[in-house]
């Protein structure tokens, strides 16, 4: 593999390295960005030095006679090719992209692209198609707040809040197979301030040992050449650099689409041909020279021949350059000494192409290539019924959601990579924290109403299963522990369990305050009521003998904790009544 960034024999001269770019990139000299230039590659000098085998994306003969610098650069670039496809290395991509874009406006393919984009990018009422995943509470609150703040900034810098930009970008990804974006930083290289779309076919990865991974734009043109750190480029590709991989989503649709259109056009032409009157002309040439006979026949062919053309783009047919097809035509022949020309009507012969089996087979082949489940093509029922739970899902739906998940996994790098870079610039101490980096992610929105119904339906089925399993007894106690069932049937996450415990704690706190006559409320009520009763001399119940020391109740045998106004006051604090209710305390008496 050629090296696009040789810096001379030394290979490490930073001034020469910077001068190779036609326009100065100040980010190349920024220490923070250079530190992050290999971020996400998982490929450093130590890996290169200790790797023994030749990788699947390496040319085993390219390193012969080259320096160690070129050898390391080739291996570093090969690591990128293991994950991404580079159109710059495919000289036929320019023509391929033109073809892909031409097919993207064909009726069926355009509908497929729209359906895939609609399924992948779903905006909610807050104009968001995704949300950041939650960070663990193990990280400081400052980090979690900045994480949310930077997500909102990056989302808005892309302009995704207009509810259409992300959808259009997903369509571009499905058509071209690539998206390349330059991350624009402020003057101090501390904050991301904008994003700039680049032409992916102009970029190629490179490697410089003293800097790390790079991207070079227009490497063969000194006037247009630009050099970027990897921390300045977001590059997304539909496939990896393999010969058997599809460049984009559309590429797999071209063959079945062409086959279907050939059959459709053949059927249309068959009906047109059979709806047309065929004429057989017999031209008398008796007594004419060969030249005169040919001239007369040529004149008649020019006057009565029909030229029929089919326009694939517009779906129209023209006859002799006119879109209006004549239903009949009048023919006039002169009668001469040589005789009268004869004209007969002929019926075309051939196979009947009006049968639908072959057409249906090729249409199904196109639908299979689209990866959209067959039931969604049920136009009579509005594209099929929506499933309410997992038991209603077909295997086609499961495969389709897996495909959408793979598309989103590539597409989300547009947000996740800048988000990680911005967080690491703010908190550089987290650069080597793999747990933290793995938690930085985004969650795509789904069709909320349908997903909610599906979730509720699944919960109901799980609840029915748990209800059945808890009825299985082992002697006088249930065989299955409730926590075991919650872990293996409901499969609650630790976060969901913690949230559930919070609701229980909140409920128990509310119950304690609502009871009032519990230890605290009853004590206060009993103390107050008992004191009043004692002050009144226990008029109703015989004075204050044995009033509680704490509450001063005017009754013999007042509760030690709260003192009741009656003999036998409730121990928990119920005052005023002999044997008063523990919950309420006070106010009601029993003789």
pLDDT tens per residue across span 480-529: 998 888 888 888 888 788 888 888 888 887 665 555 444 444 444 444 44
CA pair distance 565, 577, nearest whole angstrom: 6
Alpha helices in 66-161 (DSSP H): 68-81, 93-103, 107-120, 141-157
pLDDT at 556: 40
Is residue 137 predicted with pLDDT exceeding 80? yes
Residues 6+ apart with CB under 8 A from 352: none
Reported confidence tier of residue 114, pLDDT bands at 50, 70, 90: very high
Specify burial of residue 284 (Cβ count, 10 A radius: 0-12, 13-18, 19+). Answer: middle
Can you tell me the distance from the alpha carbon of 486 to that of 235, in angstroms, rounded to the nearest whole number? 42
Q: Which tops the pLDDT comparison, 145 or 346?
A: 145
458-476 pLDDT, tens digit per residue, is: 888 888 999 899 889 888 8
Q: Average pLDDT, stretch 21-26?
A: 64
DSSP 175: H
The β-bridge partners of 235 are 180
Distance, CA of 250 to chain centre: 18
Phi, psi (rounded to 5 degrees) for 374: -60, -35
State the pLDDT at residue 568.
42
d(CA 41, CA 437): 13
Distance CA 245, CA 533 (A): 91
Query: Smallest Cα–Cα separation from 182: which of 224, 250, 234, 130?
Result: 234
**Count of CA atoms in the C-beta half-sphere (13 A) of 58:** 19
How does DSSP classify residue 311? Answer: E
What value does the mean pLDDT take over residues 309-332?
A: 68
Greater pLDDT, 28 or 171: 171
Distance CA 139, CA 148 (A): 13
Length of the chain: 591
CB 100 within 8 A of CB 248: yes
d(CA 420, CA 438): 10
The sign of the CA dihedral 568, 571, 573, 574 is negative
| Widest pairwise Cα distance in the chain | 155
- Convert the pLDDT of each residue in 213-255 to its tens digit: 889 999 889 899 999 999 999 999 998 866 577 899 999 999 9
Handedness of CA 212, 213, 216, 220 (dihedral sign): positive
Distance CA 250, CA 370 (A): 9
Compute φ and ψ for 496, nearest 5 degrees: -70, -35
Query: Over 60: is that where the pLDDT of 94 sits?
Result: yes
Residue 368 is inside which H or E element, if any? helix 357-370
Give how far Cα 523 sits from Cα of 114, 518, 567, Å: 69, 8, 16
Record the tokens describing residue 16, joined without a space.
């020469």
**β-strand partners of 339:** 336
Residues of the chain above pLDDT 70, percent: 61
Asked whether residue 328 carries a pLDDT value surpassing 60, the answer given is: no
Distances (CA, A) of 569 to 170, 540, 549: 75, 15, 13
**Listed range (152-166, 309-323, 493-507, 532-546) with the worst mean pLDDT:** 532-546
Say yes or no to pLDDT of 174 above 60: yes
Closest CA to 257 of 142, 103, 366: 366
Mean pLDDT computed over 289-311: 75
Give whole-number Cα distances, 155 to 149, 247, 452, in Å: 10, 27, 25
For residue 308, what are the contacts with CB-CB under 8 A and spacing of at least 6?
269, 272, 317, 318, 319
> Is-contact 148 56, C-beta < 8 A?
no
Q: Please give the average per-residue pLDDT across 149-156, as a whole number.
A: 96
**Most confident by average pLDDT, 412-421, 501-510, 563-572:** 412-421
Would you list the DSSP string of 521-574? Answer: HHHHHHHHHHHHHHHTTSTTTT--TT--TTT--SSTT--TTT--SSTT--TTS-
Establish how many alpha carbons lie within 13 A of residue 486's alpha carbon, considering only the half-sphere containing its beta carbon. Answer: 9
Beta bridge partners of 196: 182
Between CA 523 and CA 422 the distance in angstroms is: 57
Q: State the Cα–Cα distance between residues 281 and 278, nearest whole angstrom.
A: 10
Structure tokens at 118: 């609609």
Where b means 16+ CB within 10 Å and e means fewer, 188-220 reads ebeebeebeebebbbbbbbbbeebbbbbbbbbe
Least confident interval from 85-94, 309-318, 345-354 = 345-354
Predicted pLDDT of residue 364: 92
d(CA 187, CA 158): 19
Work out the percent of the chain whose per-residue pLDDT is above 90: 32
SS3 169: helix
544 Cβ contact partners less than 8 Å away, ≥ 6 residues apart? 533, 534, 537, 538, 552, 553, 554, 555
Sole residue written with tokens 């996740």: 416
The sign of the torsion formed by the CA atoms of 150, 152, 153, 159 equals positive
3-state secondary structure of 212: strand
Helices 165-176 & 107-120 angle (0-180, nearest 10): 130
């Amino acid at each position: 593999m050629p090296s696009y960034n040789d810096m001379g024999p030394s290979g490490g001269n930073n001034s020469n390295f910077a001068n190779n770019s036609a326009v100065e990139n100040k980010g190349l000299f920024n220490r923070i960005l250079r530190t992050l230039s290999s971020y996400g590659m998982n490929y450093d000098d130590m890996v290169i030095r200790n790797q023994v085998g030749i990788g699947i994306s390496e040319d085993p003969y390219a390193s012969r006679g080259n320096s160690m610098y070129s050898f390391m650069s080739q291996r570093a670039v090969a690591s990128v090719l293991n994950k991404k496809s580079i159109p710059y290395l495919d000289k036929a991509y320019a023509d391929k992209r033109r073809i892909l874009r031409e097919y993207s406006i064909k009726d069926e393919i355009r509908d497929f692209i729209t359906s895939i984009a609609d399924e992948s990018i779903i905006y909610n009422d807050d104009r968001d198609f995704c949300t950041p995943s939650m960070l663990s509470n193990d990280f400081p609150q400052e980090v979690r707040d900045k994480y949310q703040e930077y997500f909102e900034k990056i989302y808005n810098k892309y302009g995704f809040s207009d509810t259409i930009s992300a959808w259009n970008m997903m369509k571009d990804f499905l058509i071209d197979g690539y998206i390349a974006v330059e991350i624009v930083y402020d003057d101090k290289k501390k904050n991301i301030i904008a994003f700039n779309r680049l032409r992916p076919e102009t970029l190629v990865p490179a490697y410089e040992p003293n800097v790390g991974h790079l991207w070079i734009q227009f490497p063969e043109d000194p006037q247009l050449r630009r050099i970027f750190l990897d921390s300045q480029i977001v590059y997304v590709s539909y496939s990896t650099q393999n010969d058997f991989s599809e460049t984009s989503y559309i590429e797999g649709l071209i063959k079945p689409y062409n086959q279907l259109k050939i059959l459709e056009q053949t059927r249309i032409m068959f009906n047109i041909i059979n709806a047309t009157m065929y004429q057989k002309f017999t031209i008398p040439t008796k007594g004419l020279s060969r030249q005169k006979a040919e001239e007369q026949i040529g004149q008649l062919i020019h006057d009565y021949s029909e030229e029929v053309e089919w326009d694939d783009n517009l779906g129209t047919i023209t006859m002799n350059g006119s879109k209006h097809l004549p239903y009949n035509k009048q023919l006039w022949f002169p009668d001469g000494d040589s005789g009268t020309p004869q004209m007969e009507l002929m019926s075309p012969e051939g196979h009947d192409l009006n049968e639908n089996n072959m057409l249906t087979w090729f249409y199904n082949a196109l639908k299979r290539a689209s990866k959209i489940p067959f039931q969604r093509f049920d136009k009579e029922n509005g594209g099929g019924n929506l499933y309410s739970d997992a038991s209603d899902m077909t295997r086609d739906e499961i495969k389709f959601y897996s495909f959408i998940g793979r598309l989103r996994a590539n597409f989300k790098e547009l947000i996740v990579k800048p988000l990680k870079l911005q967080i690491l610039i703010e908190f550089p101490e987290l650069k080597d924290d793999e747990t933290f980096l793995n938690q930085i992610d985004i969650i795509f929105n789904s069709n909320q109403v349908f997903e909610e119904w599906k979730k509720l339906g699944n919960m109901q089925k799980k609840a029915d299963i748990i209800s059945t399993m808890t009825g299985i007894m082992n002697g006088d106690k249930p065989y299955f522990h409730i926590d075991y069932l919650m872990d293996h049937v409901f499969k609650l996450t630790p976060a969901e369990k913690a949230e559930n415990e919070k609701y229980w704690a909140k409920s128990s706190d509310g119950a304690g305050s609502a009871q009032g006559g519990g230890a605290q409320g009853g004590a206060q009520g009993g103390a107050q009521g008992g004191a009043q009763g004692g002050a009144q001399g226990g008029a109703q119940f015989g004075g204050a003998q044995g009033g509680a020391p704490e509450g001063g109740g005017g009754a013999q045998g007042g509760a030690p904790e709260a003192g009741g106004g009656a003999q036998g006051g409730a121990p928990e604090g119920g005052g005023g009544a002999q044997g008063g209710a523990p919950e309420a305390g006070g106010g009601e008496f029993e003789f």
